[in-house]
Amino acid sequence: MFVAPGRVNLMGDHTDYNQGFVLPMAIDRACTVTVDRATTQGVVARSAQLPGEVRVPVTGGAHPGSVEPTWGRFVAGVLKVLGAGGAAVPPVDLEVSSTVPAGSGLSSSSALSVALALALSDAAGLEFTELDVARIALAAEVAATGVPGGLMDQLASLFGVAGHALLIDCRTNDVTPVEISPGIAVVVVHSGLPRTLAGSAYAARRAECEAIAARLGLTSLRDATAAMVANEPRARHVVSENARVLATAKALSFGDLSVLGPLLLASHASLRDDYEVSTPELDLLVDLLVEAGAAGARLTGAGFGGCVVGLVQRNHADDVLAKATRRYADATGLSPDAFVAHAVDGAHRVP
């Protein structure tokens, strides 16, 4: 059995595909894939949570985007990527289960892709580095969804360290664990508003950033300065967000909520106003968490729905979540899902 955790991003959204900095952590909600040798041809996958049975030829067969049910596209995507590299995956049966809520911005699809990449490469007798697995999983996701994502989610799932966030340089893919002060609780609230990147403005935002970088003569917005992008809201977010990632990483191990809280709120304001990926529900959740006692909060992930993340004194976390979610449910009629997230080790095989 192979286990791959989801992740929550503490700081640094829409910076990964701009070769910037991010600060995610692997969380104690994960996807598991169990592998058994099959007696029939092909790969057959079943999910404990999702309907339908997936049957895909070991060669990958049809284009992943055409596979039904839709969650099976990730199986087909991994097979296609491995096959393109010359791997010979034998017929196997897969049992998939996940505690990462879908459409939450907590990387349920990346956890699935990483677990599948580990399971199917192992079935083929192949060994890859964590970075190689991250690249295989990302390529599989792109093939499955058509969304040109960055590598943050896969790296976070693979390189997680218990009790630590991960400072990732998305230009070099260097990963540096950053201890989370024991006095801080990381709280996550799902807005009850599902999020899907396919069909959202995600790809458009990425294209805008690439166009601005090209106009400025830069390889990516990682190299832009605040002065260069003062009149470019999308790029202004990226430049300011990179600075916030580094400042957050510095303050996190000290547990200085007086510094961390304003950084989270500034990030949310930038994502809301400059990058325009928030929603009224996410904005309300951020406000209610702060009113209930969180030092700060922000949307996490790509936006367009999903979750917010906040930082709270550990001994106040349950009370803050109870107050904020009750008021949110009363105001919106939605059913939020709230929990304290714990940083865990990265994807691995369970003996």
Res 191: pLDDT: 95
Pinpoint the alpha helices (H) of the chain. Answer: 72-84, 108-123, 130-145, 152-159, 202-215, 233-252, 257-273, 280-292, 317-332
Lookup: tokens for 302: 């790509």
CATH topology of domain 2-168: Ribosomal Protein S5; domain 2 (3.30.230)
Average confidence (pLDDT) over 4-28: 97
Statement: residue 253 has pLDDT above 90: no
pLDDT at 40: 73
At 218, the pLDDT band (50, 70, 90 cuts) reads very high
Residue of 61 and 12 predicted with greater confidence: 12
**Mean pLDDT computed over 211-215:** 98
- Cα–Cα dist 77/91, whole Å: 16
Please give the Cα distance from 21 to 39 (Å, whole number): 46
- What angle, 0 to 180 degrees and rounded to 10, lies between the N-to-C axes of helices 257-273 and 233-252? 160
Q: Please state whether 122 falls in left (phi above 0), alpha (psi between -120 and 50) or beta.
A: alpha
Under DSSP, the state recorded for 203 is: H
Residue 194 has a pLDDT of 78
Cβ(156)–Cβ(29) below 8 Å: no
Q: Are 309 and 261 in contact (CB under 8 A)?
A: no
* C-alpha 260 chain-centroid distance: 21
Q: Which two tokens stand for residue 210?
A: 């690439």
Three-class secondary structure of residue 338 per DSSP: strand
What is the structure's pLDDT at 105? Answer: 80
**Whether the predicted pLDDT of 39 surpasses 90:** no
- Predicted confidence at residue 265, as pLDDT, reads 98
Q: What is the pTM of this model?
A: 0.93
Comparing 80-94, 230-244, 286-300, the range with the smallest average pLDDT is 80-94
pLDDT in tens, 42-85: 899 999 998 889 999 887 666 898 899 999 999 999 999 999 99
Which of 13, 16, 153, 274 is catalytic? The answer is 153
Residue 150's pLDDT band (cuts 50, 70, 90): confident
pLDDT on residue 27: 98
pLDDT digits (tens, 9 = 90+) for 163-192: 999 999 999 999 999 999 999 999 999 999
Contact partners, residue 270, CB within 8 Å, separation at least 6: 236, 237, 240, 241
Q: Could you read off the pLDDT of 277-314 as tens digits, one per residue? A: 999 999 999 999 999 999 999 999 889 899 999 999 99
Among 51-60, 194-203, 245-254, which stretch is predicted with the lowest mean pLDDT?
194-203
Q: Is the pLDDT of residue 16 over 80?
A: yes
Q: Which pLDDT score is estimated for 199?
A: 52
CA–CA dist 279, 332 (Å, integer) = 13
Domain boundaries, the chain: 2-168, 181-341
| 21-37 and 43-47 beta bridge pairing | unpaired
**Which residues are registered as beta bridge partners of 338?**
189
Higher pLDDT, 143 or 58: 143
Contacts of 104 (CB under 8 A, 6+ apart): 190, 195, 301, 306, 307
Q: Cβ(340)–Cβ(332) under 8 Å?
A: no
153 is catalytic: yes
Interval 307-336 mean pLDDT: 97
Percent of the chain at pLDDT exceeding 70: 97
Query: For all residues of the chain together, what is the average pLDDT?
Result: 94
**Identity of residue 7:** R
* Structure-token match 């510095």, residue found: 250
The domain made up of 181-341 has a fold known as Alpha-Beta Plaits (3.30.70)
